[in-house]
Amino acid sequence: MPTEIHPRFAFDNSFERELEGLYEPWQATAAPAPRLLALNEQLGAELGLNPAELRSPEGVAILVGNVVAGSATPIAQAYAGHQFGGFSPRLGDGRALLIGELIDTNGRRRDLHLKGSGRTPFARGGDGKAAVGPMLREYIISEALHALGIPTTRSLAVVATGESIHREGMVPGAILTRVAASHLRVGSFQYAANSADQTLLPRLADYAIARHYPQARETNNPYLTLVELVMDAQASLVAKWMQVGFIHGVMNTDNVTISGESIDFGPCAFMDAYDPETVFSSIDHTGRYAFGNQPTITQWNLARFAETLLPLIDNDTDHSIEVATDLLKSFPQRFRANWLDGMRAKLGIGDVHDHDAELIDDFLAILKEQHLDYTLSFRALSDRLRGSEPTTETFTDSPAFAQWTQRWHARLPSQPRAVTADAMDKVNPLYIARNHIVEQALETATNGDLGAFEALVEAIRSPFTERAGMNTFTQQAPAEFAGYRTFCGT
Ligand code: AMP
Ligand code: MG
């Protein structure tokens, strides 16, 4: 049984204090031989934790859940969720635990959470475990998104448990220590709205407002404002995903946060050749979570969120439905405004014109038609603007592209082109977590060699800055990688 006290983790557990009924107190299953595979020192420092202490056997024991720091109150959170459109009233942390909350060095409250720490009362048929590969994948992807300026849960550490687990064959087990603004999900509200305890939903809504959107409290209808602010956070988030070609892969309502952070990186991936229909997930047979569907699905998920709050928005259900529906209808415009702003920046355009959407869409149509790499094509534009040889991508010099280039040039600001090109390079990444490189890094890491994983993390930590010796990270997947499939992180 975990007993020791670690003074550096000063947890303050508001979720546990205020949201009884939305969790089960639980303990991690002991990991037989913990070994630290990855530690995010910068994030540790942000949390006020000492990297050397985290690396010590005592620190690793806490990161893996073998030791419970004094003020920690580990709990498995309850949530419900629509998975691929079908409702499950009871999902919850089947293999995860919220250890506690830390106030970071910026005064922000952050959850510390373990994933892969053993079966909980929510485990259903699962073994409660996680494999080294998928946990390192979450580490890579979350760090990549963070470095791209996209809100996301973070990865503090991955610790191998020293245990083999059963997947497709036996693989080494691991635990990810995750850091999040909170783990409140749309699915948390769905669970509360279905609960026999009538106090749970208002407690949760008030908690979410206090923790994430205190400004809602000052408005006429705080719960309707909560819907609106979550909507804005998600519109902004998904627009950012779309700008970097990110495909989440499993946007079930239990994987949609209230904070607006990206969460739960299972079958996610960055798109290579531009095609809105791209789907990588092996379980997404209908393309529900295809790249181009992400905004529409977000609106659907937000509708599920709004539904849960109807009883709090107004006593008169008809009126609640009316105002919530009106609000939800504004999602496409909110998303579009975010997306257009970001896409203009990607093209180096500084001001707003009526025909910008056409200019952007026509560029994307060329990428699609010529099967061009989404990421590298934007860098090729800035290279061309500078007059330098594109380092990577080349467009077929089609009449369509020549004509588009003329229209684009006419929209550029009146400043030296190199200045515009430099500004574009600050928003168009050069190094992304390419699927074939991620797969290779995870495979070698699973076999005990972390070199490729560490090199990839270093590349994606500064995605915009070209550096010597990093050419492998801009190379496109070999032909045999076509038809690439990702699997859930189970
Ligand atoms: P995910 O697809 O990772 O978002 O997980 C969906 C649900 O399945 C959540 O309730 C998880 O806690 C649960 N789950 C996933 N993998 C496992 C596992 N190996 N053991 C227990 N529960 C799991
Ligand atoms: Mg999930």
Kindly report, residue by residue over 237-271, the tens digit of the pLDDT: 999 999 999 999 999 999 999 999 999 998 999 99
Instruction: Establish if 64 belongs to a structural domain.
Output: yes
413 C-beta closer than 6 A to ligand 1: no
Q: What ligand 1 atom has the least distance to the C-alpha of 79?
A: 10
Ligand 2 centroid–CA 468 distance in Å is 38
User: Hey, which residues does 114 pair with through a beta bridge?
Assistant: 97, 177
What is residue 253's DSSP assignment? Answer: G
Question: Which residues in the chain land under pLDDT 50?
Answer: 1-7
Beta carbons of 287 and 184 less than 8 angstroms apart: no
> Which structural domain range is residue 66 located in?
14-183
What is residue 277's DSSP assignment? Answer: T
Closest CA to ligand 1's atom 7 = 91
pLDDT in tens, 57-67: 999 999 999 99
* Structure-block tokens of residue 256: 């949609």
Ligand that comes closest to the CA of residue 120: 1
173 and 228 belong to one structural domain: no
Instruction: Establish if 175 belongs to a structural domain.
Output: yes
173 and 253 belong to one structural domain: no
165 and 192 belong to one structural domain: no
Distance, CA of 460 to CA of 437 (rounded, Å) = 12
What is residue 25's DSSP assignment? Answer: E
111 and 257 belong to one structural domain: no
488 C-beta closer than 6 A to ligand 1: yes
245 and 122 belong to one structural domain: no
Query: How distant, in Å, are the alpha carbons of 8, 51, 189, 346, 407 from that of 429?
Result: 36, 29, 35, 10, 24
Pocket test for ligand 1, best of 22, 23, 91, 250 (most atoms within 8 A of CB): 91
Nearest Cα to 114, choosing from 134, 133, 129? Answer: 129
User: Hey, which residues does 167 pair with through a beta bridge?
Assistant: 169
Ligand 1 centroid–CA 490 distance in Å is 7
Please identify, among 310, 339, 368, the residue that sits at the C-terminal boundary of a domain: 339
Instruction: Establish if 383 belongs to a structural domain.
Output: no
Report the number of distinct structural domains present in the chain.
Answer: 2
Closest CA to ligand 1's atom 17 = 126
Instruction: Establish if 396 belongs to a structural domain.
Output: no
259 and 306 belong to one structural domain: yes
* 254 annotated active-site: yes
Strand order of the β-sheet with 154-167 is 23-25, 75-77, 96-103, 109-115, 169-180, 154-167, 35-39
Closest CA to ligand 1's atom 11 = 94
Instruction: Establish if 145 belongs to a structural domain.
Output: yes
Ligand that comes closest to the CA of residue 88: 1
Ligand that comes closest to the CA of residue 165: 1
| Residue the block writes with tokens 């995860």 | 96
Beta carbons of 121 and 26 less than 8 angstroms apart: yes
Q: What's the pLDDT score for residue 130?
A: 98
* Pairing assessment for the beta strands 154-167 and 109-115 based on DSSP bridges: unpaired
Q: What's the pLDDT score for residue 4?
A: 37
89 C-beta closer than 6 A to ligand 1: no
* Structure-block tokens of residue 81: 């969720």
Q: Which residues surround ligand 2, an ion (CB under 5 A)?
A: 255, 264
Instruction: Establish if 418 belongs to a structural domain.
Output: no
66 and 161 belong to one structural domain: yes
Q: What ligand 1 atom has the least distance to the C-alpha of 488?
A: 2
Nearest Cα to 161, choosing from 33, 28, 299? Answer: 33
418 C-beta closer than 6 A to ligand 1: no
Instruction: Establish if 434 belongs to a structural domain.
Output: no
42 and 109 belong to one structural domain: yes
Ligand 1 centroid–CA 488 distance in Å is 9
Q: What's the pLDDT score for residue 135?
A: 98
Please identify, among 322, 339, 356, the residue that sits at the C-terminal boundary of a domain: 339
Nearest Cα to 430, choosing from 405, 393, 401? Answer: 393
92 and 236 belong to one structural domain: no
Instruction: Establish if 379 belongs to a structural domain.
Output: no
Please identify, among 183, 214, 248, the residue that sits at the C-terminal boundary of a domain: 183
166 C-beta closer than 6 A to ligand 1: no
Rounded to the nearest angstrom, the gap between the alpha carbon of residue 381 and the centroid of all alpha carbons in its chain is 28
Ligand 2 centroid–CA 83 distance in Å is 10
89 and 23 belong to one structural domain: yes
Angle at 375 between CA 374 and CA 380, to 5 degrees: 95
95 C-beta closer than 6 A to ligand 1: yes
Active-site annotation holder among 254, 264, 383, 425: 254
Contacts of 332 (CB under 8 A, 6+ apart): 295, 299
E runs forming strands in 293-342: none
Distance, CA of 245 to CA of 364 (rounded, Å) = 12
Ligand 1 centroid–CA 256 distance in Å is 15
pTM over 0.75: yes
27 and 160 belong to one structural domain: yes
25 and 171 belong to one structural domain: yes
Based on the number of CB atoms within 10 Å of its own CB, is 196 exposed (0-12), middle (13-18) or buried (19 or more)? exposed
Beta carbons of 28 and 158 less than 8 angstroms apart: no
